[in-house]
Structure 1
C-alpha cells in the first residue's frame, strides 16, 4: 500500500512538471514574444520581414473558415494578400489571460511547446475599430536548428 501511495505521489508531481507553465516562466515569455512577432508585428503592422526566421518551411495552418494553408510561402502570401492587402485595416488582439503554454519533452529535453488561447479581430472602418470575430487557436512551436518555428496551427471556433 505504501508503494502505491509513493507511486501515486510521484505521478502527481511528475505530471505537474510537464503541465502548463506559469506566466512568469521563461518559456511563457518566449511564447509571448513569438506571438507578438507573428501577430502584433506581422499581422497587425504588416511587417513580415521576420516571418522567414520563425515559420517552419512545412507549416500547416488549419482554419475552420478558410481551409488549409500548406507551407511558409503560402502562409506569408496569405497574410500579405488577405490581411495587409485588405481595403480596411485589420488587427488581431490576444484576449487577456487566455494564453496557455505547454512544454513538450523528449526524454526530459525540451523540443517543442504548445501555445493556446483566444483572440479577437477588429476592422478599422468609419474612423474607428469595430470588433469582427473571435476565435480560439492552438500553435505548435518546435525547435529547428536551435530556433523556435511555428510548425502547426489550428484556428477554430470563429464567431
Structure 2
C-alpha cells in the first residue's frame, strides 16, 4: 500500500511540476509579448503628443483640431470646461492672436514623466507633466508654468485622436 501511495504521490508531484513549468513558460511568453506592446504604444502616443502640440505651438488651428474628436472634453483646473473641438479651435485662435502682447507660448512634454497605458477596445491613456514657456518680445524664453495632464486617446483604425483632456495642478516652476 505504501508503494502505491508513494507512486501516486510521485506521479501527482511530477504532473504538478510539469503543469507549473508549462504555466510559467506561457506566463513568461505572455509577459514578454505584453511588455513589447506597451513600449510600441508609448512611442506611438509620444509621437502623437509631439504632433498635437507641434500644431498647438505653431498656432496651426486646423492641424490641432484634426487631432481632437469633435466632442472632445477639456477639463482645465484654472480655465474650466470646454466641450468640443470647435471651442478648442476658438481658444487656440484667441491665444495665438494675443501673442503679440502676451508673448509666444510653447508647450513641452516632460518626457521622463510620460506614462502610457492601453485602454481595451478604445485606445490609450497618456499621463504626464508638461511645461509651458513664454517668450515676450525682445526677451529670452522663460519657463512660466508646470502642470500635470491626462489625455484619453481614441484609436479609429490607424487614426488617433484625443477625446478627453485633463490639465491640472498648474504652478509656477520651482
The TM-score, its normalising length taken from structure 2, stands at 0.72
Q: Distance in 2 between matches of 1:62 and 1:115?
A: 15
Q: Is the 8 A contact 1:60 1:70 kept in 2?
A: yes
The count of corresponding residues between Structure 1 and Structure 2 is 150
Larger Rg: 2
Q: Which runs of 5+ in 1 are unaligned?
A: none
Normalized per residue, the structure richer in helix is: 2
Deviations along 1:11-56, whole A, 9 cap, x unmatched?
xx67x938x923xx2x22221221112212x221112232343210
Gap regions ≥5 residues in structure 2: 1-15
Between the two structures, name the one with larger relative contact order (CA 8 Å, sep ≥ 6): 1
Contact 1:21–1:100 under 8 Å retained in 2: no
Question: Residue 114 of structure 1: which of 115, 125, 128 is its match?
Answer: 125
TM-score scaled by length of structure 1: 0.78
Alignment counterpart, residue 35 of structure 1, candidates 49, 61, 80 = 49
- Cα gap change, 1:121 to 1:73, in 2 (>3 Å): same
- From the two aligned structures, give the one with the greater strand fraction: 1
- How large is the Cα RMSD of the aligned pairs? 2.9
